[in-house]
Amino acid sequence: MADKDKRTIGNHRLHPESLMMSYGYDPHRSEGAIKSPIFQTSTFVFRSAEEGKAFFELAYGLRKQGPREELGLIYSRLNNPDLEILEDRLTLWDEAEACAVFESGMAAIATTLLELVRPGDTVAFSEPLYGGTDYLLNHILPRFGVDRIRFMAAGGNEAMTKAVTHAASSGKLAAVFVETPANPTNALVDIEACALAIARHAPPQRRVPLIVDNTFLGPLWQQPLRQGADLVIYSATKFIGGHSDLIAGACLGSREFVERVRTLRTFLGTMCGPWTGWLLMRSLETLKLRMTSQMKNARYVADFLADHPKVQRVHYLGHLTEDDPGWELYRKQCAGPGSIISFEMVGGEPEAFRLLNALRLIKLAVSLGGTESLAEHPATMTHADVEPAMQRQYGIGPAMVRLSVGVEFPEDLIADLKQALEQV
């Protein structure tokens, strides 16, 4: 683990964007290399049998770790230098106690939930969610006897409190999972109010964690742990990776919960590899630059779409006003609107498809948060496995298009959207 003293220079506390260059890494332990090497190895050599014994005692929890003792390197399914450095750096933006990285965002979500729930338990969660998460909660976990209670993100604190209260009344509430902003509608869930509702209604004999999927806004524009969340999850494929060239996930939060998740990760084998870890470290160095550029570009694009006669409605946090129900929550919870825009065409699926098929600079592809702008059709792509009736309830209609704005020149993006709209 990284030395916390290296976060300061004298009395001056260094910012995350500065620490991303070197935190958690000592060049002198790697021949002076300014960047961490890729430790492409499956196993590590012990200096002695006694050292190997001590490492395994800590890894398997056979004894408590000494005050100055570190878990030694054993096997890359348990630990790897690239992953350890990456996990140290990922804690900085969210001010988390610990972090565990995974081979995908879904691996992070699935491993976390499988650790926290047992047959007979109940999970309360917000809707809409990313399609993969929705399927896991509504179709996979019920096979293991896990009950679920959903609430609409757009339903506000009333719907959330009612769901948490109802789930807690059985004494079987094991976790509350929210995705905010919601995918793809950008609806917000009040993290602080959710944490308070859990504290008031959850059974006293069991600590019920609040898990927040923060992928849409990333660690720059929202920090759920500060709002009362116990764990925050990212599809690190998105903004953290940010170049559409890797798949990864992360779970951050209190050491109590992360260590439990990390232990199950060891036995499920869902950690990411050293090459992915190294690529994520590379990406973290430019995270603020990329996300700031994307956010600024999204403002221009959203303004253009809002004024276009062939666009019926734009779902964009930067367009919230004091008259909107989510205005106060946005001001309290978010540091910026991010770069994800969903908008509804005048018409339906044919009009949405004509737009998508006519795009030239913006790529027709799923995923988000990359340097290039991407557009997709949620109802038939990312959320295709959500029942049509539920899609309508969530506000995912056939005319909706989701746009992830990249770092291109904003006037070029607008020119592309303009010519595509002219062909609808």
Convert the pLDDT of each residue in 282-339 to its tens digit: 999 999 999 999 999 999 999 999 999 999 999 999 999 999 989 999 999 999 999 9
Give pLDDT, residue 2.
Answer: 65
Q: Let me know: does 43 contact 49? Beta carbons within 8 Å.
A: no
Give pLDDT, residue 4.
Answer: 59
The parts of the chain modelled with pLDDT lower than 50 are none
CA–CA gap between residue 239 and residue 233 (Å, rounded): 13
CA–CA gap between residue 109 and residue 102 (Å, rounded): 9
CA angle 190, 196, 198 (to 5 degrees): 100
Cis peptide before 410 (omega within 30 of 0): no
CA distances from 48 to 29, 57, 62, 65, 67 (A): 20, 14, 19, 19, 22
